[in-house]
Amino acid sequence: MLLAGRFVVGIGIGFSSVVAPLYISEVAPASVRGALVSIYQFAITLGILAAYVVDYAFAAGGAWRWMLGCGVVPAVVLIVGMFFMPESPRYLFKIGDDARAREELHRVHDNAADEAEEVRSIHDSLQVKSGGLRAFKTPELRLALFIGIALAVLQQITGINTIIYYGPQIFEMAGVASATHSILAESLVGTVNALMTLVAIFWVDRVGRKPLLYAGLVGMFIALSTLAAAFAQPHLSGSLGTIALCSMMLYVGCFAFSLGPIVWILISEIFPLPVRGLGMSISTLSNWIGNFLVSQFFLTMIAALGRPATFFIYAALCIVFIVFVRTMVPETKRELLERIRVTA
């Protein structure tokens, strides 16, 4: 029953994780697009934090049914809110409803020249017909798809959901006394996750996507290496819980202002309009496959390789990600969506 329910929830999350950042990127002006897509990630971190708080409240009594049932509340809020959302102007132009599309663009642009320029760029983009998967045979789109998939997978296999899903178990491995205390410690990590996402909201359109990625990945590498080294030292057992908590807070904080929001920003930006929905869907599917593999095999890796080796592997993948960003990922700050190009 739990697996069946999780499957249904997963379908809903799958839809929303594609549509939400795609929708935001299409309705937002270029100057604040990064910040607004980052707010999507900020909302996720608030949801995770709320889940930790709810879990902590019900943990002492073992009321896991209430933990699950409280998820109905944000679902209802989202359903109601959907009725008040405007349509994407790019979609309206695509179906030929130019009048409504111009109305929606007029709502988000103060400058008539900027609005006219965006209308022209959308019309130019729509001259290229979508060819479905066949469209990705062209070198530019094939490269964009590769970058989108790689970003989505690397976001997951650098280990974020080992912390989100297995944080309480990691704290118990580090000697935290009880499940309730472990959930409380994880709530502190969730608070850092939410607060540090604000850094991306305020800075991603000022300094750009790539500088924040570099800073976050370096911090994640340091945190994971520290965690691995701490688990490798038996004489640290007395202070291991504190080291684990500080390392996880550093790791999640660095992820929150870098990989967390910026990967979603980039995969909502790098695909041309005719294939944007398909490209984002494939990238998001890859993200959830990576999520599944990490969550499925984390405890297996701990058992087979040991705690130090497992966290060192995640640290090494952060270095791989830095090299990938340096060599492959374009900077998209303040560019109109239709003018973003991925080149080898």
Residue 98 lies in a domain: no
Residue 166 lies in a domain: yes
Residue 99 lies in a domain: no
Per mean pLDDT, which range of 159-163, 170-174, 277-281, 315-319 is the poorest?
Answer: 170-174
**Three state DSSP letters for the chain:** CHHHHHHHHHHHHHHHHHHHHHHHHHHCCHHHHHHHHHHHHHHHHHHHHHHHHHHHHHHCCCCHHHHHHCCHHHHHHHHHHHCCCCCCHHHHHHCCCHHHHHHHHHHHCCCHHHHHHHHHHHHHHHCCCCCHHHHHHCHHHHHHHHHHHHHHHHHHHCCHHHHHHHHHHHHHHCCCCCHHHHHHHHHHHHHHHHHHHHHHHHHHHHHCHHHHHHHHHHHHHHHHHHHHHHHCCHHHCCCHHHHHHHHHHHHHHHHHHCHHHHHHHHHCCCCCHHHHHHHHHHHHHHHHHHHHHHHHHHHHHHHHHCHHHHHHHHHHHHHHHHHHHHHHCCCCCCCCHHHCCCCC
Per mean pLDDT, which range of 30-34, 93-97, 219-223, 233-237 is the poorest?
Answer: 233-237
Give CA separation, 227 vs 144, 179, 185, 242, 315, in Å.
34, 20, 15, 11, 10
Residue 288 lies in a domain: yes
Mean pLDDT of 66-95: 88
322: domain CATH number? 1.20.1250.20
CA-based R_g, the chain, Å: 21
- Residue pair 192/256 in contact (Cβ under 8 Å)? The answer is yes
pLDDT at 123: 80
Give the tens place of pLDDT for each residue, 258-273. 999 999 999 988 888 7
**What band does 321 get if pLDDT is binned at 50, 70 and 90?**
very high
Give CA separation, 64 vs 10, 59, 70, 187, in Å.
19, 7, 10, 17
Residue 209 lies in a domain: yes
Mean pLDDT of 204-216: 93
Sign of the dihedral through C-alpha 288, 290, 293, 297: negative
Q: How far is CA 329 from the centre of its chain?
A: 16
Give the tens place of pLDDT for each residue, 219-257. 999 999 998 998 888 766 667 778 888 888 899 999 999
**What band does 307 get if pLDDT is binned at 50, 70 and 90?**
confident
Residue 300 lies in a domain: yes
Residue 76 lies in a domain: yes
Say yes or no to pLDDT of 131 above 90: no
**What band does 48 get if pLDDT is binned at 50, 70 and 90?**
confident
Residue 101 lies in a domain: no
Distance CA 315, CA 312 (A): 5
Full-model pTM: 0.76
**What band does 152 get if pLDDT is binned at 50, 70 and 90?**
very high
pLDDT at 179: 65
Q: How far is CA 318 from the centre of its chain?
A: 16
Distance CA 238, CA 255 (A): 28
Provide the domain limits for residue 249: 9-85+128-339
Task: Return the closest-CA partner of residue 220 out of 135, 314, 145.
Answer: 314
Please tell me the total count of domains within the chain. 1
